[in-house]
Structure 1
Amino acid sequence: MLNKCSSVIKLTKEEVYPYLTDLWGLDMSKIKIIGITGTNGKTTVSYLVQQILNECNIKNRLIGTINSNLTTPEMFDLLENIKDMQAKNETHLIMEVSSIGITEKRIHGLTFAVKCLTNITQDHLDYHKTFKHYVESKFKFLNLPGPTVFPKDYKRIPINFPTQLKGKFNLFNIQAAYAIALALNISKPTIEKALEHAIPPKGRFQYIKTSNPFNIIVDYAHTPDGLTNILKEARRLTDKNLIVVFGAGGDRDKLKRPLMGKAADDLADIIVLTSDNPRSEVPEEIMKDIQAGISRSDMLTITDREEAIRKALQIAKRGDTIVIAGKGHENYQILHDKTIHFDDVEIVMKYSK
Structure 2
Amino acid sequence: LTQDHLDYHDTFEDYFAAKARLFRDVLPEDATAVINLDDPRGAEMRAIAAARGQEVLTVGHGKTDLSLVAQRFDATGQDLRFAWHGRAHQTRLRLIGGFQASNVALACGLAIGSGEDPEEVFETLPRLSTVRGRMQLAATRANGAAVFVDYAHTPDAVATALTALRPHVMGRLVAIVGAGGDRDRTKRPLMGQAAARNADVVLITDDNPRSEEPGAIRSAVMAGARQAGGTDSITEVGDRAEAILRGVDALGPGDALLICGKGHETGQIVGDDILPFDDAEQASVAVSALDGGGA
| TM-score normalised by the chain length of structure 1 | 0.63
More strand by share: 2
Runs (5+) with no aligned partner, structure 1: 1-119
The AA in structure 2 aligned to 1:272 is: L
The reply on whether 1:300 has 2:235 as its aligned counterpart is yes
After superposition, what is the alpha-carbon deviation per residue over 1:128-147, rounded to whole angstroms, capped at 9, x for unaligned?
12121111111122222332
Give the Cα separation in 1 of the matches to 2:146 and 2:131. Answer: 19
Matched residues in 2 for 1:215 and 1:297: separation? 22
What is the rounded CA distance, in whole Å, between the counterparts of 1:178 and 1:147 in structure 2?
13
Pairing 1:187–2:117 present: yes
2:34 maps to 1:149: yes
| Structure 2 counterpart SS, 1:261 | helix
Deviation digits for residues 184-241 of structure 1, max 9, x if unmatched?
A: 1010122122222111211111112434321211111111111111111222222222
Moved over 4 A (4+): none
Number of positions where the alignment pairs a residue of Structure 1 with one of Structure 2: 234
Whole-Å separation in 2 of the counterparts to 1:168 and 1:211:
23
Equivalent of residue 238 in structure 1, options 169, 173, 176:
169
Contact 1:125 1:255 (8 Å CA) reproduced: no
What residue is the counterpart of 2:278 in the other structure?
Answer: 343
Residue matched to 2:244: 309
- Tell me, which stretches of 5 or more residues in structure 2 are unaligned? 38-57, 68-81, 83-89, 289-295
- 1:270-281 paired onto structure 2 within 5 Å: 270-281=201-212
Would the aligned equivalents of 1:239 and 1:319 in 2 still touch at CA under 8 Å?
yes
Q: Aligned runs of 1:277-292 on 2, under 5 Å?
A: 277-292=208-223
Q: Which moved more, 1:269-278 or 1:234-243?
A: 234-243
Judging changes above 3 Å, is the alpha-carbon distance between structure 1 residues 316 and 166 closer, same or farther for their aligned structure 2 residues?
closer
Match status 1:255 vs 2:136: no
Is 1:134 the equivalent of 2:134? Answer: no
Alpha-carbon distance in structure 1 between the residues aligned to 2:139 and 2:218: 29
Shift of 1:179: 0.5
> Letter of the aligned partner of 1:335 in structure 2?
V
Equivalent-residue separation in structure 2 for 1:283 and 1:211 (angstroms): 30
Q: How far 1:276 moved relative to its partner?
A: 0.9
Give deviations 1:75-129, integer Å, cap 9, x for gaps: xxxxxxxxxxxxxxxxxxxxxxxxxxxxxxxxxxxxxxxxxxxxx1111111212
In 1, Cα distance between the equivalents of 2:250 and 2:100?
A: 29
> Is 2:202–2:234's contact at 8 Å kept on the other side of the alignment?
yes
**Cα distance, 1:297 vs. partner?**
5.9
2:152 maps to which residue? 221
Counterpart contact for 1:257–1:289, Cα < 8 Å: yes
* Partners of 2:91 and 2:123 within 8 A in 1: no
Deviation at residue 298 of structure 1 after TM alignment = 4.3
For the 8 Å contact 2:149–2:260, the answer to whether it is kept is yes
Q: Which amino acid aligns with 2:59?
A: Y
Quote the Cα distance in structure 1 between the aligned partners of 2:174 and 2:96. Answer: 19
Equivalent position SS for 1:128: coil
Q: Which residue of 2 aligns with 1:332?
A: 267
**Contact 2:139/2:280, CA 8 A, preserved across alignment:** no
Would you say 1:167 and 2:72 are equivalent positions?
Answer: no
Percent of aligned pairs sharing the same letter: 36
RMSD across aligned positions (CA): 1.5
Match of 2:71 in 1: none
